[in-house]
Amino acid sequence: MTEEELFRLKTEVVLGKNINLRLASENDAAFILELRLNPLLNKYIGQTDPSLEKQKEWIENSLKKITDFHFIIENKEGKQYGTVAIYNIDYENGTAEWGRWVIKPGSFVFFPVESAVLVLNFAFTKLGLKKLTGGANNKNIQVVNFHKMYGAVSSVDETHTWFLFEEQNFIKILKLFKKFHSIQINNK
């Protein structure tokens, strides 16, 4: 995929069953800041500079890179509910990380699982990646349990549980969560 094609991909919306994913823009800076500064949500994520300007700069920088897809999770009416991202993409080796998965309280119960499936599908199908990695603080037990459900845990150390998502295992995830998304499994 050429650089031009990748930038074009950045303008497309990933359509789901109950949610869509679209690239974050500067207009989302306040929402992202609100999410990341929420004490209920930021226990297990990296520290965030509280400056709105810094957040806008950060988003602008992300938009310029083909190695970073920072999505806003929104419902079908365009209301923002969270973020999820594919980043540190290495196109040569087909690898990347996925994370920045933060969803605000009060979201529809199945938004988190659908956003996970959509972002993985985007990475494997649209970006053509082969392997994704991620990690969660060991105390973030709900996220750890979630990834354990489909055997994505690759290792555990003193502080973190590390996950590995491979293209060939993705079909298992699609099947396990089939009721939460509208991706055609037959084509995989």
Partner 1 sequence: MEKKKITEIVTSTVCSLVETLPAEQKFIVDQNTILFGTGSKIDSLSLVSIIVDLEGVFSSDYGIDISLTDDRAMMRKKSPFDSITALVDYIEELTLEN
149 is a site residue for partner 1 (CB under 8 A)? yes
- How far apart are alpha carbons 15 and 179 in whole angstroms? 16
CB of 43 to partner 1, least distance (A): 12
For residue 43, what is the DSSP state?
A: T
Name the phi and psi angles at 103, rounded to 5: -130, 130
The yes or no reply on residue 162 touching partner 1 (CB under 8 A) is no
Pairing of strands 80-90, 95-103: antiparallel
Contacts with partner 1 by CB under 8 A: the residue count is: 18
Binding characters for partner 1, 57-96, by CB under 8 A (x = yes): ----------------------------------------
| Residue number, 64 or 172, with CB nearest to partner 1 | 172
Return the residues of window 111-140 that contact partner 1 according to CB under 8 A: 111-113, 139
Minimum separation from the CB atom of position 25 to partner 1 (A): 26
Which residues, in sequence order, are CB contacts of 38 under 8 Å at separation 6+?
A: 104
- Residue selected from 11, 157, 159, 179 as contacting partner 1 according to rule CB under 8 A: 179
Nearer to partner 1, 38 or 145 (CB): 145
Query: Inter-axis angle of helices 111-121 and 167-176, to 10 degrees?
Result: 150
Q: Please report the beta strands in 11-142, taking only residues with DSSP state E, as ranges in sequence order.
A: 14-15, 19-23, 68-75, 80-90, 95-103, 131-137
Chain contacts with partner 1 (rule: CB under 8 A): 103, 107, 109-113, 139, 141-143, 145-146, 149, 176-177, 179-180
